[in-house]
Chains A and B, each alone.
Chain A
């Protein structure tokens, strides 16, 4: 479905990025739905990104991407399936209370959930000014900061939720925050 004026690479890149919001994906979805005009798409992207406080230039890049993706996809007619796919419907019986209770008995599985995907603000350490005092390491409520062999703090971005407590803690102001939302 990707045609001439948009390279497959551009779209793949934009869709593949693990950012909190994908303009490219949204543009593709509205194009396929056939319900939204390009003007409406531009307006929606503009409003959404402005609310996040992004720079005008970043917003412009996103608008360009949205237009590229929108224009690059052919008009497709989606035929609704005449017979919906057969899905088995579960008959819910009573399970023993040990199963049917939302409690967790197996320890050590919190790591499997990548809580970093919720992050809106991203703390970044400026190592030039870091004195390795370790206060950020101690203060992080999520244990998302480790110390490397030299004693420098290293943030685990898979689990850092972006609360910025580390930033508040750092006596050297050597942790800065960046908006997590990228251009695409």
Chain B
């Protein structure tokens, strides 16, 4: 076992290298490019054998990844933001083929306006595509999750692509100490890919991507995909157990942080959970009983466990690093849905949006979240989501607007 200071991108590439991937279709996009550059280097110097192919677009890239997986080779690819959105049609198509491969998405806010910092609107746009989704918090978790992702994807109870999401910049370009697992142990954890789905072979004709043109057949295959994604919950648990046994690090579908006696709970996803944990520590020092639940497995949704963790608490605040204009935070809706039929729901549930495009969530904004949760009363009916923003940030934007010539004299104020 080696410990190295790796960026999240390098950790993703190391995951693919240790999984001995045989085919990587690639297309560059900030902040993901370092992943495919690292892999290109390893295919060139022989550390990896197989094929690394640069494609003309992410749409082709994801199609190629799916097609390669139908031939039974272990396939890895990576993208970000606009790239994932551009590949959207292909995401749905290849998951319909029920082929296992791993796609790393490095989250980045979507256009327009163009930005490079992270939020989760890109990856959540793909949440219904039939991919398993794992959202990670640290660089170590990036590497570990890529290895786990191959095991889950290739299990016959699942046989679907798995998307591992890491936040741009905060993980992609940040070095953290990462343990690179021993290659022999990885082989024990993740043996060579033995496909369960029908593969293309010279000696065997298979038609993939067929039309069914009838609602019953279509529904059957969509329901099967749903069941397969659901199965990933149990498979993730088994895989996490194996991973713990071999490598000593344990990952749940959800991560609990200081939850034992927590009355107020923050729910977050991704690297900004670290900021949430820091706020929890600060509040704990002040004697407040606050905890945090991090959503790691987004699809399948670990609804029962989520309900188990949140029922009986006094207040739950979901901080979404995404925005569905006209609705608010996306994951808030999912958390609320998981609690809908429980009897001991938290009397206060509130939705917050923050950290869009990599905007910080400052201690002051976390304090605002706690204040809102403290002051909220049960049975207030629908309360719109709170948009986290600071005065200093507002001033900064107004300064930028004035540089851009706004407001124009006499036209706007």
Contacts and interface: CB of A to CB of B under 8 A. Distances in A.
Interface of A: 92-105, 107
B392 interface: no
A97 B207 contact: no
B98 A94 contact: no
Nearest to A107: B205
A98 B224 contact: no
A103 B197 CA distance: 9
Contact of A96 (B156, B204, B212): B156
A114 to B, nearest CB: 12
A75 to B, nearest CB: 33
Interface-centre pick from A95, A96, A100, A101 (highest chain B CB count, 10 A): A101
Contacts of A92: 220, 223-224, 227
A101 B199 CA distance: 12
Given A104-B206, A105-B206, A98 B197 contact: yes
A95 B225 CA distance: 10
A101 B158 CA distance: 11
A34 B346 CA distance: 54
Contacts of B225: 100
Contacts of A103: 97, 197-198, 206-208, 210
A97 B224 CA distance: 8
B229 to A, nearest CB: 10
A90 B98 CA distance: 23
B227 A104 contact: no
Given A94-B157, A96-B156, A107-B205, A101 B227 contact: no
Given A92-B223, A103-B97, A104-B207, A97 B228 contact: yes
B358 interface: no
Interface string B311-350: 0000000000000000000000000000000000000000
B206 A94 contact: no
30 contacts: A92-B224, A93-B227, A94-B224, A94-B227, A94-B228, A94-B230, A94-B231, A95-B224, A97-B159, A97-B197, A98-B197, A100-B98, A100-B221, A100-B224, A100-B225, A100-B227, A100-B228, A101-B97, A102-B97, A102-B209, A102-B210, A102-B212, A102-B217, A102-B221, A103-B197, A103-B198, A103-B208, A103-B210, A104-B210, A107-B205
B336 to A, nearest CB: 26
B198 A105 contact: yes
Contacts of A105: 198, 204-206
Which 8 pairs across A and B sit closest by C-beta, in order of nearness?
Answer: A100-B224, A94-B227, A104-B207, A97-B159, A101-B98, A92-B223, A107-B205, A102-B221
B227 to A, nearest CB: 4
